[in-house]
Structure 1
Amino acid sequence: MEDQDFLLGYACWKSMKAIMKAKVSAATLIFCLGMANSLTCWKCLSREGNCMETNTEVCSLSQDSCILEIKQFFALSAVTVKQGCGTSNQCRRYLEGHAGLLYRGMYCCSSNLCRPLNFNVSRDGSRNGVKCQSCIGSTAECGQDVPSQPCYGSMDRCVQISQRFLPGEELEPIIKGCGNSSFKDAVVAYQIGKDFAYIDQKVCRQSNCNNRNVTDISSRQPNGLRCYTCRGSEDGECARDRLQLLNCTGAMDQCVHVIKKSKGLPVTIQKGCATKTMCDSNQGIYFNLMRQDYYAKCCKTPLCNRAESPSAPVMLTMGTALASWLALIAWK
């Protein structure tokens, strides 16, 4: 980067010198003036939130801010801090907030090598000798080459969560970090209409063992179960007379209602096929990732999910069971 900057600067100096003697294009002059006014930002993706001294980038003329984006999943020791060039508009439009135990935020500043926020990772206990990859984000950001970080206290195993959601739902497809003994291997799969989605949680005990390829769980052959299916809001798309039929496949041997608490009353917003793990209350991943205003109800006999939403008392007894797939959807 420094060599490139030197060469570009030298070229501009030569061009500016030539202006005194002859004819240099307006484009060259504008480029050189723009380079002189460019913003420089730290650029890295790290758990600690600090970039090495050499990790910088020169922003384009359209980029007026240095950005710092934080993603933190509190159930794991999993943090991603991304720094680089951006725009102030990105910060204004970024949907900051919590969904379950996942937090996302973006911060901006506008001077060279500025940091809009001092971010420190909190730890409980001392190092336990295990190291795990730590990342939250896309498959490109959180691939097999993510740097590892030491684990602390009871967080003595590595966890990787791979996810694929329904079309139109915002997602973080990969979560990696250190976890404790409450984390177990778990898979949930579900289908709403023609759309198939899943969550796959893998847990291992060796250092850096969560460097797996992204899981891709495909739908299997029909298993004989048929369920009603719909996907809508609160405008009647899941009314009894508008339901469609769906042939379930593979391990999806349950019919499912996805229910939203709306003004204190339960409203069914989705129906389809699912694995039993979507409704198992003993799967810790769902406590950690679910949105508090959604839950799922499963049943096992053909077409058993046509019934209307359960009453409010029943809703409360099942409120701990919703699938994690709704945790990372668009922040509304």
Structure 2
Amino acid sequence: MAQPLLFVLISTLFYKANTLTCYQCIPETSIKCTETKVECPVGQCGTMRTTTYMGNNTLADMIMKNCSQEHQCVTASANLGSTRIVINNQCCNTNLCNSQNELESPKMIPNGMQCFTCTGEDCASTLPCIDEEDHCIKATVVNDKQVMTLKGCVTRSFCMGDLSTKIGQSSITADQSCCKGHLCNSAHTAAASRFFQLGFLLYAMLQKTL
């Protein structure tokens, strides 16, 4: 009887020794949230800045903190012409190491690559890609039976995974394809592309980033 109890005790101590304590802070809006401490059995601590731009204006700028898996510790961005979202998640692996409240802003420097983008229903316009955006994307999104096509520049990290999962809304279905190469996402006309839908789409994605 003593041996199984000893095994349970050792296992509990081992689990505690490998549990990471991280700050957690998940705001519902751009307003600063209150930090708490959480136990993270696996992974790392993350501090993520998510910024959404509509034209030249900042639509939302949030700092979030939480436990992070290694694959989430990336910088990702999607530039769809009128709207751009930038996600910068910096990770660390010591207790309470994600204490920083300021992360570097994107440099916004064109890298020489271009992709097609949609303006209204016209998808023949070209868009200069910025910073680490080295892929073009074409996504078809269905929201409440309304179909729109989104095109633009993205980082490779943004292409990984399912766009429907990133959006996280049951009323939205999405299909995406990424390619690497100058203007590789074709210039065919979109079925529909409205700015207010685009803003809603990226806002929904922003809510599911951490």
TM range (shorter): 0.5 to 0.7
Asked whether the equivalents of residues 227 and 272 of structure 1 are also in contact (C-alpha less than 8 Å), the reply is yes
Question: Structure 2 residue aligned with 1:141, among 16, 20, 32?
Answer: 32
Question: Tell me, which stretches of 5 or more residues in structure 1 are unaligned?
Answer: 1-124, 232-236, 310-322
Greater RCO (Cα-Cα under 8 Å, separation 6 or more): 2
Is residue 191 from structure 1 mapped to residue 69 from structure 2 by the alignment? no
Larger radius of gyration: 1
> Where does 1:72-83 land on structure 2 (aligned, <5 Å)?
none
Is residue 254 from structure 1 mapped to residue 142 from structure 2 by the alignment? no
Is residue 203 from structure 1 mapped to residue 86 from structure 2 by the alignment? no
Deviation at 1:135, TM superposition (A): 0.8
2:118: which partner in 1? 230
> Where does 1:19-98 land on structure 2 (aligned, <5 Å)?
none
Question: Structure 1 residue aligned with 2:151, among 271, 279, 284?
Answer: 271
SS at match of 1:303: coil
For 1:299, give the aligned amino acid: C
Change (3 A) 1:300 1:247: same
For 1:141, give the aligned amino acid: K
Asked whether the equivalents of residues 136 and 178 of structure 2 are also in contact (C-alpha less than 8 Å), the reply is yes
1:280: which partner in 2? 160
**Structure richer in strand, relative to its length:** 2
SS at match of 1:267: strand
Asked whether the equivalents of residues 172 and 328 of structure 1 are also in contact (C-alpha less than 8 Å), the reply is no
For 1:327, give the aligned amino acid: M
Deviation at 1:218, TM superposition (A): 2.2
Change (3 A) 1:326 1:276: farther
TM-score, with structure 2 as normaliser: 0.64
**Partners in 1 of 2:35 and 2:95 — Cα distance?**
12
Change (3 A) 1:164 1:299: same
Query: For residues 240-261 of structure 1, what are the alpha-carbon distances to aligned partners after superposition, in whole Å with 9 as ceiling and x for unaligned?
Result: 4xx3221223321212223212
Query: For residues 242-293 of structure 1, what are the alpha-carbon distances to aligned partners after superposition, in whole Å with 9 as ceiling and x for unaligned?
Result: x32212233212122232125678631x2211112121129xxx78643352
2:168: which partner in 1? 291
**Partners in 2 of 1:139 and 1:262 — Cα distance?**
25
Deviation at 1:295, TM superposition (A): 4.5
Note the aligned Cα RMSD (angstroms): 3.7
Question: Structure 2 residue aligned with 1:239, among 105, 108, 122?
Answer: 122
Deviation at 1:178, TM superposition (A): 2.5
Question: Tell me, which stretches of 5 or more residues in structure 2 are unaligned?
Answer: 1-14, 191-200
For 1:250, give the aligned amino acid: D
Aligned length: 176
Identity of aligned residues (%): 20
Asked whether the equivalents of residues 121 and 189 of structure 2 are also in contact (C-alpha less than 8 Å), the reply is no
**Partners in 1 of 2:139 and 2:81 — Cα distance?**
13
**Partners in 2 of 1:273 and 1:219 — Cα distance?**
13
Asked whether the equivalents of residues 136 and 172 of structure 1 are also in contact (C-alpha less than 8 Å), the reply is no
Change (3 A) 1:287 1:185: farther
**Partners in 2 of 1:226 and 1:217 — Cα distance?**
18
TM-score, with structure 1 as normaliser: 0.44
SS at match of 2:53: coil
**Partners in 1 of 2:164 and 2:89 — Cα distance?**
14
Asked whether the equivalents of residues 132 and 158 of structure 1 are also in contact (C-alpha less than 8 Å), the reply is yes
Deviation at 1:187, TM superposition (A): 1.3
Is residue 161 from structure 1 mapped to residue 48 from structure 2 by the alignment? yes
